[in-house]
Structure 1
Amino acid sequence: MNSPSSLAPRPLTAGTHQDRAPYAEALRAHADRSWVRLNVPGHAAEATPGHPLVEAFGPGVLRMDFPPLLEGLDLGSDTPMDQATSLAAEAWGARRTWFLTNGASQGNQIASLITPMLGRTLIVQRSVHSSVIDGLVLSGLKAAFVQPSLDAVQGIAHGVTAEAVAETIARHPDAAAVYVVSPSYFGAVADIRAIADVTHASGIPLIVDEAWGSHFGFHPDLPAGALSQGADLVTSSTHKLGGSLTQSAMLHLGDGPFADRLEPLIDRAFRLVQSTSASALLIASLDIARRNLASGHDAIGASVEAADRIRHVVRRMGRHEVVSDGFGRFPDIAAADPLRVAIDTRAGGISGHEARQRLFRDHQIMVEVSTESAIVAVVGAGSAPDTERFLEALHTLPRPLDDQLDRGLRLSLPTPGEAVLTAREAFMSPGRVVPAVEAVGRVSADTLAAYPPGIPNVLPGEVITSETVRFLQLTAAAPNGHVRGAVDPTVAHLRVVDA
């Protein structure tokens, strides 16, 4: 496995223009003017004492909550909005960037919607986010899945190799594009350069769901961004580690051989799924996050040091284990994101789910996600968390599994059932809700995913297996457990295609 620095490009040199946030600055200036607002939103920015929204958020938020299509913000030519997206494209090395206000899920849906114009079958990493499968439901395209490597010890999926992608493309001469995920939820980074090479050699574009890598390429200790490694279209969930507000994201078009063909398709799909009332607050936060990443070399370096300290102390204390220490066993992992800290708590006598719950309830510490075996903490690029408080709490957690003598038990990921219908065919077919035991052997009408991370365990059109039902029910029963798309919280019933 290569080190992050060996894959990272030279960090962006921030010029005066990258030190600015033109949309956010224009929005603030707009808000500072004395307006009589007889338009939407209906709160009219009435910052009077006692106003419920003022009490909840403060007067500044209301004053900056403007609708789209305003002169001086985003109406006309060379607007602050145009300047902000152009700066973002430059910062990420894109030909063009779109600001999204419905998360990276919107970017994945856009990417999926354009693929029917490129071919008949989408080559898809099986462990993609459920929003990609939602995109397949919208597009109606057939999918051919590339299976990721599985860590049987941790029960997690990593990535795919270029060889596996090439083999799948060879079986599908009608392929439209290849769709992969990098980094994974646990921070595993794929060899995007190698995957792009085999994809382009077959004459099709590479789409990368880089939701968890919006910060890549902005510091020499971080892995390179997917665009710099040859990806053609990249979904970037900027709010995750990039620092913008929740639900804000970006879609980046690479300046490669497919750009001329893809750009007008993306424009059409963007208009189809973007809100006509996109939030000015979310857009401004994207502009500010780009500025901070592009000019925040020292702050990002401090974040990497904080994450490294957590791993160092965990190793030194010897109770828990660092999951990424085992990444070298997997040929599909080329690097690791240093800002994601995955810790095997089961090795320390407590399940990941219980560790997360106790950290939240007893110590007021939130981590990103838990599995049966581990917790995943993230350090935002430029943030400075209290590592000492986290480490102290982590090492004072109880050891219930030592008493139960079941530390060796692991909840394995289920093997997907056979796909007999496309996602759209299954989703649009008449369906019925049946008890879970009766759903085994039948075709799922829904996408079901342990969430987070939101990687589908069952797709519409796949046969439901008893192994999958057990996995989802145990996931739902765990502390903080949730199954996205389930008919009921306990997964006692499932929706199946009514044959």
Structure 2
Amino acid sequence: MNIRSIEMPVHPLPASAQLSAPYAEALIAHAGRGWLRLNVPGHAAETNSFSSLTEAFGSRALLLDFPPLLEGLDLGAQTPMAEALALAAEAWGARRTWFLTNGASQGNQIASLVAPALGGTLVVQRSVHSSVIDGLVLSGLKAAFVQPSVDAEQGIAHGVTAEDLAATIARHPDAAAAYVVSPSYFGALADVRALADVAHAAGIPLIVDEAWGAHLGFHPRLPENALAQGADLVTSSTHKLAGSLTQSAMLHLGHGPFAQTLEPLVERAFRLVQSTSASALLMGSLDLARMTLVRNREAIGASVEAADRIRRAIRRFGRFTVVSDRFSDFPDIRAVDPLRIPIDTRAGGISGHEARRLLYRDHQIMVEVATDSAVVAVIGAGSVPETARFVEALHTLPAPLAGGADGLRLVLPQPGESRLTAREAFMSPTRVVPAAEAVGLVSADTLSAYPPGIPNVLPGEVVTAETVRFLQLTAAAPNGYVRGAVDPDVSRLRVVDPGVPHAD
């Protein structure tokens, strides 16, 4: 029996229940009962014996660190955990919700594992997170990619249009589902309702990676979430902007026409990839995050106003520009997440990578992501940061073009030809070769400039010289990182060995 997938309460929950956190409250009460703990975890909440843990994280963390399957918490049907899951589903407008303890990446893997029961090809936005590609490796499905719109000036991908999604689905009569991303890393929201209509008209469900949108719909100034627009399965990275602890997330099942088909499939896939030792701390934080989002609407409004102050100041000073001010140029963008602040730093004479490095080193300010051209600052729902401090530090950064004197903007490379499925390439015999020799060969790995973690090379795709240059320049930038690379500098790549037949 899996304790985080038990039946929802039979009777409807009263409205006031959203103002409580049943699992978190039960966990706190359970910790106060003076247990002699002769079970795992091995620290047994002995705060004196494990003083290094206590000094680092506090005694409360140890006391609340319980294993699964405990009476009064999650063992059985009508439990605090079952109530917490039902409240989460209600708050996000889902038919059913699962708590995840390995991030939204786990949700994307579950969604990918569901698809083989529905068809032979997953129609996928090409700029999905690398965890979706990991899911394709696990599932073995073929993929048909829909190209997103690209801001060539910024070198960033946005979303896909309903027309492009429909055209790709039409070319693949064995389509299992459509898989899109909204919002993007830069805060661009797709027209999910139109995308859902297209998918449903073709007889397939719409899966949305809404990792960056867990807070959507919880305040009048925030756009509605994907579930409210007809999405069938939604990955929600609650820890990102909705206030739970890092690595905690949720997976939501919609109320649409595929709900009954998807629910048992999700349940099986969930059991396959969820830890049997899921953290009570992470799950308790999900329960508390949901309660806080519902209760603190005014605080969310203050967060939006804080983000507005930063954008107004950037426009007023004139050195930098706000990337999202140009989103109206792209037909796939329906709305903008106001808690995301993408800033074109090259407009102000400094690369995004260098701006991030100096903000971190000299001002103790962390931003979420840097690209060659921009940084993205994010404000959590309910957080009100020192906006003046950030604006002042940003405008004290050196110029012109510090950290990138050539003044060239990196352009996102076009993907190479796909010759194998992700699973075929991943499971094939491979060899590691110098990057220059990999050009023209088939990649065995997923390579992604990170963050945002959008794959630039997929397993099964031909490696191009353009992509190698892009990844090497990314890796060489301050704080640059390429997820999946053999070497930090991307000097070598793992490719499918052309001399050995690949596994079927």
TM bucket by the smaller chain? Answer: over 0.9
Unaligned stretches of 5+ residues in structure 1: 1-13
Q: Name the aligned partner's letter for residue 290 of structure 2.
A: R
**Which residue of 2 is the match for residue 422 of structure 1?**
421
Report the Cα distance in structure 1 between the residues aligned to 2:371 and 2:403, rounded to whole angstroms: 20
Which structure has more relative contact order (CA 8 Å, sep 6+)? It is: 1
Report the Cα distance in structure 2 between the residues aligned to 1:18 and 1:346, rounded to whole angstroms: 45
**Which residue of 1 is the match for residue 336 of structure 2?**
336
**Which residue of 2 is the match for residue 394 of structure 1?**
394
Report the Cα distance in structure 2 between the residues aligned to 1:272 and 1:48, rounded to whole angstroms: 37
The yes-or-no answer on 1:127 pairing with 2:166 is no
**Which residue of 2 is the match for residue 367 of structure 1?**
367
Report the Cα distance in structure 2 between the residues aligned to 1:403 and 1:489, rounded to whole angstroms: 19
The yes-or-no answer on 1:313 pairing with 2:288 is no
The yes-or-no answer on 1:354 pairing with 2:354 is yes
**Which residue of 2 is the match for residue 58 of structure 1?**
58
**Which residue of 2 is the match for residue 79 of structure 1?**
79
Post-superposition shift, 1:495? 0.1
Report the Cα distance in structure 2 between the residues aligned to 1:254 and 1:426, rounded to whole angstroms: 33
Seen in structure 2, the aligned counterparts of structure 1 residues 470 and 16 have a Cα distance that, compared at 3 Å, is: same
SS at match of 1:82: helix
Post-superposition shift, 1:50? 6.7
Post-superposition shift, 1:400? 3.6
The yes-or-no answer on 1:288 pairing with 2:288 is yes
The aligned runs of 1:98-109 (5 Å cut-off) are: 98-109=98-109
Report the Cα distance in structure 1 between the residues aligned to 2:260 and 2:183, rounded to whole angstroms: 27
Unaligned stretches of 5+ residues in structure 2: 1-13, 499-504
SS at match of 1:99: strand
Task: Please say if residues 190 and 334 of structure 2, whose CA atoms lie closer than 8 Å, have aligned partners that are also in contact.
Answer: yes
**Which residue of 2 is the match for residue 33 of structure 1?**
33
Report the Cα distance in structure 2 between the residues aligned to 1:108 and 1:372, rounded to whole angstroms: 27
SS at match of 2:468: helix
Report the Cα distance in structure 1 between the residues aligned to 2:402 and 2:375, rounded to whole angstroms: 18
**Which residue of 1 is the match for residue 21 of structure 2?**
21
SS at match of 2:240: coil
Report the Cα distance in structure 2 between the residues aligned to 1:162 and 1:77, rounded to whole angstroms: 41
Report the Cα distance in structure 2 between the residues aligned to 1:447 and 1:135, rounded to whole angstroms: 12
Alignment deviations for residues 32-90 of structure 1 (CA, whole Å, 9 cap, x no partner): 11110000000000022771111111111000000000000000121000000000000
Post-superposition shift, 1:176? 0.3
**Which residue of 2 is the match for residue 4 of structure 1?**
none
Report the Cα distance in structure 1 between the residues aligned to 2:466 and 2:422, rounded to whole angstroms: 21
Alignment deviations for residues 477-496 of structure 1 (CA, whole Å, 9 cap, x no partner): 00010000000100000000
SS at match of 1:87: helix
The aligned runs of 1:203-242 (5 Å cut-off) are: 203-242=203-242
Bigger mean CA deviation after superposition, 341-350 or 40-49: 40-49
Alignment deviations for residues 225-282 of structure 1 (CA, whole Å, 9 cap, x no partner): 0000000000000000011000000000001100001000000000000000000000
Q: Name the aligned partner's letter for residue 451 of structure 1.
A: Y
SS at match of 1:365: coil
Post-superposition shift, 1:385? 0.6
Post-superposition shift, 1:15? 3.5
Alignment deviations for residues 180-210 of structure 1 (CA, whole Å, 9 cap, x no partner): 0000000000000000001100110000000
SS at match of 1:194: helix
Task: Please say if residues 449 and 483 of structure 2, whose CA atoms lie closer than 8 Å, have aligned partners that are also in contact.
Answer: yes
The aligned runs of 1:407-486 (5 Å cut-off) are: 407=407, 409-486=408-485
**Which residue of 2 is the match for residue 264 of structure 1?**
264
Q: Name the aligned partner's letter for residue 314 of structure 2.
A: V
Alignment deviations for residues 341-378 of structure 1 (CA, whole Å, 9 cap, x no partner): 00001000110000000000000000000000000000
Alignment deviations for residues 80-104 of structure 1 (CA, whole Å, 9 cap, x no partner): 0000000000000000000000000
Report the Cα distance in structure 2 between the residues aligned to 1:317 and 1:49, rounded to whole angstroms: 55
Alignment deviations for residues 11-37 of structure 1 (CA, whole Å, 9 cap, x no partner): xxx932101000000000001111100
Post-superposition shift, 1:296? 1.4
- Matched length: 485
Instruction: With the length of structure 2 as denominator, give the TM-score of the two structures.
Output: 0.95
Post-superposition shift, 1:119? 0.3
Alignment deviations for residues 387-428 of structure 1 (CA, whole Å, 9 cap, x no partner): 011011000011041898644x21000000000000000000
**Which residue of 2 is the match for residue 155 of structure 1?**
155
Task: Find runs of 4+ consecutive structure 1 residues off by over 6 angstroms.
Answer: 402-405
SS at match of 1:234: strand
Q: Name the aligned partner's letter for residue 293 of structure 2.
A: L
What is the RMSD computed on CA atoms of the aligned residues?
1.1
